[in-house]
Amino acid sequence: MAKLTDVAKLAGVSPTTVSRVINNYGYLSQKTIDKVHAAMQELNYQPNNLARSLQGKKTQLIGLIFPSLKNPFYAELIEYLEKKLFDREYKVIFCNSENNPEKEKYYLQMLAANQVDGIISSSHNLGIDEYERLNLPIVSFDRLLSPKITTVSSDNLAGGKLSAHALIERGAKNLAIISGASQSGSPSDYRTQGFMEVATTFDLPCKHLEIPSGTIISIKKNKIKKFIEENNFDGIACTDDLTAIYCEEYTNCPIIGYDGTELIQALHPELLTIVQPIEELAQVLVDVIIDKINGKETELEIILPIKLQQNI
């Protein structure tokens, strides 16, 4: 990671001048300020590293970058992450990326400047570069960020397969799957792929409806309604539980959801679903980020098993 002296060298000024620019004191010409800023930018230098290295200690802060709390899956995962980090004496800076690359980029810069010890990211609008150049311990949830960054997920491919088997066991012969927008390497894609593979194996027809996340609920519901009314499905899989519950409004055929949060299980105990091990995922994410902070080697890919929740 770039040091203050590196910035000074590149800008052709003394370290004291760099410190003055950062702390905004003493007389400085605009030319000097510009030179130092340019060097800081080129080296991706984060000013607060100064304070950090002066203090010579960790901040005990972890940045969590997640797309939305409105999905109960993320809310529950973050609830567990906070608990488990608290037990290890870490606090959480919560960053909602809203699937907005600009906001995510700004947050990454702020997190580095704010001296977090590490980042757990579940939001990958950005290219690999932005994460790799941070030079901070990072663990990625659910998506491969870079060959250098550990990814933790549950077994999305197996989950998709299991949901197809569950519907076929219930007599389904005309299958459908409703997922988020196709995006290479997304969890939703793996679930869809697993589902399709089993449909092909059993030689069963299978239609696929993609609805981008962030679609207005009423529009989403209309798409689902039309998709169901225009076909004669006898088994529908969804890559999340909320979509599965929307489907219940338009058909009585077997439906299977995905995620298995405590909230949806409590509100909809009738829903057949694939359960992700939310608490265990949080535990592994916390273990990995703390291992990385402490300089330990970690596995590059950790995949936890999913299970079927039978409806009652």
- By beta-carbon proximity to a copy of itself, the closer residue of 72 and 180 is 72
Per-residue contact string for residues 261-300; x = within reach of a copy of itself by CB under 8 A: -xx--xx---------------------------------
Q: Which residue stretch of 144-152, 168-176, 194-202, 260-268 sits at the interface with a copy of itself (rule: CB under 8 A)?
A: 260-268
Judged by CB, which is closer to a copy of itself: 181, or 263? Answer: 263
The CB-of-112 to a copy of itself minimum distance in angstroms stands at 12
Give the integer Cα–Cα distance in Å for 97 and 198.
Answer: 34
Which of 1, 28, 33, 93: binder of a copy of itself (CB under 8 A)? 93
Q: Which is nearer to a copy of itself, 74 or 195 (CB)?
A: 74
- Amino acid (1-letter code) at residue 105: K
> CB neighbours of 309 closer than 8 A, spacing ≥ 6?
260, 265, 271, 272, 273, 274, 275
Q: Which is nearer to a copy of itself, 93 or 302 (CB)?
A: 93
- With contact defined as beta carbons under 8 Å apart, do 63 and 111 qualify? yes
193 HSE (CA, 13 A, CB side): 13
Measured distance CA(283)–CA(279) in Å, rounded = 6
Site string for a copy of itself, 101-120 (x = CB under 8 A): --x------x---x------
E strands within the chain?
A: 61-66, 91-96, 118-121, 138-141, 150-154, 175-179, 206-210, 235-238, 255-259, 272-275, 301-304, 307-309
For residue 150, what is the DSSP state? Answer: E
Question: Among 43, 245, 303, 304, which residue sits at the site for a copy of itself (rule: CB under 8 A)?
Answer: 245
Footprint (CB under 8 A) of a copy of itself, residues 195-234: 217
Sole window of 90-98, 142-150, 160-168, 207-215 interacting with a copy of itself (rule: CB under 8 A):
90-98
DSSP 88-113: TT-EEEEEE-TT-HHHHHHHHHHHHH
Q: Binding string, 47-86, against a copy of itself, x = CB under 8 A?
A: ----x---x---x-x--x---xxx-x--xx-xx--xx--x
Q: Closest Cα to residue 304, out of 288, 280, 270, 282? A: 280
Is 242 one of the binding residues for a copy of itself (CB under 8 A)?
yes
What tokens appear for 208 in the block?
A: 């696929």
Beta-bridged to residue 204, according to DSSP, are: none
Smallest gap from residue 114 Cβ to a copy of itself (A)? 7
Place of tokens 């105990």: 269
Which spans of this chain sit near a copy of itself (rule: CB under 8 A)? 51, 55, 59, 61, 64, 68-70, 72, 75-76, 78-79, 82-83, 86, 91-96, 98, 103, 110, 114, 217, 242, 245-246, 262-263, 266-267
